[in-house]
Amino acid sequence: MGKPLAKAVLPAVEKTRTLTVLAEDPSVLGQNGRPLLTTVRIPDEPLLPGPRGSRIEVIDYDAASGTFYTGADISDDTDLLKHGPTSAEIERDPRLHAQHVYGVVAATLFEFERALGRSLSWGFDGGSHQLKIAPHAFEEANAFYSREDEALLFGYFQDGRSARKKTVFTCLSHDIVAHEATHALLDGLRDQLTRPSHPQQEAFHEGYADIIALLSVLRGENLIQHALESAKLAKHPHQRINIDKTLTAIISGSVLTGLAKQMGNAIGAPIRRDALRRSIHIKPNPNLLDNTFEPHDLGEILVAIVLQAYFKVWESRLSGKLKKLSGKGSSTVEAWRVAEEGAKAAQHLLTMSIRAIDYMPCVHITFEDFLRALITSDWQTCPDDQFGYREQLREAFAGFGIVPSEKRNNTGIKGAYGFHVDNLRYGQGTVDSLQWDADGMFRFIWQNRNALGLVSDAYTKVNSVRSLWRVAPHGQIVRETVAEFYQLIKQADITTLRHLGVTPPKGMKKDRRFDLVGGGILVFDEFGSLKFYISNHLNSTRQGERIAYLDKVDALTREAMPKHGFAVAHQRRAGLKPPTVPEGGYF
């Protein structure tokens, strides 16, 4: 009798707990006149006061006053916000600030790891395992992620528009905290995206962080119920409301307009946190991208595209599912069902947006890449697309002139990346080495460098090799391996460009020196065969476009990127002075 077959070992299910946080910020009040709260799911692990856990630690140091605040103790399932404090109580208690900011960041990390099917690393140069959070880092109207400090830094400021002297804390905004946490996570997943490139790459970092933040907020049913009340569609969750009237309000975006105004006014213009309010009003225009060059303006267009798809999916879920539940001949449905469908649409789009990162090029990305990645990643886990998420995204992107070419698409799924079909050498090394080992992956890439389009005399590095398990909505498990590599030529010049077959920009100085970067993502199936190869090579067409743009704006070198780049980006966006950074950093 032969040996029994080995059983597949699935990853252990992580134990979780819920934690109360602000649904948006202290200005968004429920019917009881107190700030609207929600719960988030975070890993259940022993926490030290701070809170401080294995991946995140709150260090509440105020550099402006030189003050250390006592850390919040939320160990043993303690929940400091659960009793529903007033706005004044929340604003004056640093421990509640610490719980909120920790909860939102931990929930964002948990959501990324759940969606991607693996543990994630931060993008710090020192390889630290813990992201630091300073809820009261400085007295300024700013908040930002700092790779140099390995931290998320939140400011506070006086609201000059308030009749009474009121302090506004950026750490108390759910969407601001999720936005900055997304910057940190994206930097860990794609650290080459901070290199100088064309405007859509810089725009993507900001736009993507807004998308994750807004969808994280909108997946809260109680916040959508609050939006329905603000739009005067419902007074309470069990009120029956007209479906057609509700669909009209959803499609136009007016359901969330009141919420967007409330969110924007809460902290206001100083840090431009009203992404929802701005993006709702951007109408489809195929020529808009060609006439927009400022990265933040471009990022807002990306947010608008995803929001418009969100509204249409929400409509699809309601009209297709809830009209049946409302009964034959009935045109009303309870408000809580409307909120539930909106929250489910936001959750699915959030998962799609996170999983898309694994299917995007590691350098020189465009909004079209994001669309292809959204479609491809979702198709792999949700083949049926029951509520038309992919179709609505394709239509929303097409409204802004983004229509992927189908020339090399051999999948039958419109807008997806095509399967890789070139013959490759798998002879040396094992399937196991292609799932875990960076050296084994490099061997595979090197053996197939010609077929993969690599430049042989460039520095080549495998950045990561990640084996993952993804669970589809219907319980199907998808197993893949995702590897990222990049190639670099330092101190390149016009001669280098010509050697690579890249046309130098007209008028470019002969002594101009710059770095050239290219790279690719390899997605392997469970049997170790290459399924998708998504790349932007050193000698790709985009390399020439990148060099021409950066030469024009004098930003060819990485030194052109300022220290604390995300802080400066936010400062430029809001028209503020540069942030005050203590000598030697915050930590």
Q: For residue 43, which of 134, 132, 111, 129 has the smallest C-alpha distance?
A: 111
Single-letter residue type at 332 = T
C-alpha–C-alpha distance, residues 402 and 39, integer Å: 37
42: Cα separation from own chain's centroid? 18
Alpha carbon distance 317, 306 (integer Å): 16
Residue 252: Cβ within 10 Å count: 12
Cα separations (Å) of 579 from 132, 135, 140? 18, 15, 7
Instruction: Show Cβ contacts of residue 273 under 8 Å, excluding neighbours closer than 6 positions.
Output: 170, 173, 175, 176, 179, 263, 264, 267
Q: What are phi and psi of 549, to 5 degrees?
A: -65, -50
- Which pLDDT value is given to residue 2? 47
Euclidean distance between CA atoms 198 and 299, whole angstroms: 13
Query: For residue 224, what are the CA distances in angstroms to 15, 194, 405?
Result: 28, 34, 37
What residue has token string 């049946």? 324
**Which amino acid type is present at position 568?**
V
Q: Rounded distance, CA 113 to CA 358, Å?
A: 12
CA angle 272, 277, 282 (to 5 degrees): 110
Beta-sheet pairing, 56-58 with 131-138: parallel
pLDDT digits (tens), the chain, 587 positions: 444 444 444 455 568 899 999 998 888 888 888 999 999 999 999 999 999 999 999 999 998 888 899 999 998 778 999 999 999 999 999 999 999 999 999 999 999 999 998 889 898 876 689 999 999 999 888 889 998 899 999 999 887 666 567 888 999 999 899 999 999 999 999 988 888 888 898 899 999 999 999 999 988 888 888 888 888 888 888 888 888 788 788 777 777 766 556 556 655 545 555 666 677 788 999 999 888 878 888 999 999 999 999 999 998 888 866 656 555 556 788 888 889 999 999 999 999 999 999 999 999 999 999 999 999 999 999 888 888 999 999 999 999 999 998 888 888 899 899 999 888 888 665 666 777 788 989 999 999 999 999 998 899 999 989 988 888 777 778 889 999 999 999 999 999 999 999 988 888 888 888 889 999 999 999 888 899 999 999 988 888 888 888 888 877 765 545 555 555 555 555 555 555 656 556 55
Task: Tell me how far CA of residue 537 lies from CA of 189, 283, 468, in angstroms.
Answer: 19, 34, 26
Single-letter amino acid code for the residue at 260: A
Other Cβ atoms closer than 10 A to 457 = 9
CA atoms of 204 and 503, how far apart (whole Å): 26
Report the C-alpha gap between 415 and 430 in whole angstroms.
33
Q: Which of 580, 487, 586 is nearest to 537 (CA)?
A: 487
Strands 530-536 and 514-524 turn out to be antiparallel
Residue 471's pLDDT is what?
81
CA dihedral 548, 553, 555, 560 (to 10 degrees): 180
DSSP 8-state assignment for residue 363:
S
Residue by residue, DSSP assigns 238-304 as T-EEEHHHHHHHHHHTHHHHHHHHHHHHHH-GGGT--HHHHHHTPPP-TTTGGG--SHHHHHHHHHH
- What would the 3-class secondary structure string for 344-356 be? HHHHHHHHHHHHH
429 to 19, 65, 442, 483: CA distances (angstroms): 46, 57, 10, 15
pLDDT for position 568: 53
Please tell me the predicted confidence (pLDDT) of residue 1.
43
* Model pLDDT, residue 76: 77
378: nearest Cα among 363, 367, 366, 393 = 393
At residue 358, what are phi and psi to the nearest 5 degrees?
-65, -15
Helix (H) or strand (E) holding 425: none
Which region holds residue 395: left if phi is over 0, alpha if psi is between -120 and 50, else beta?
alpha
DSSP code of residue 170: G
Q: Which amino acid, 138?
A: F
Extract the tokens encoding 56: 């995140």
If 0-12 CB within 10 Å is exposed, 13-18 middle and 19+ buried, where does residue 68 land?
Answer: exposed
Query: Tokens 């399967």 sit at which residue?
Result: 419
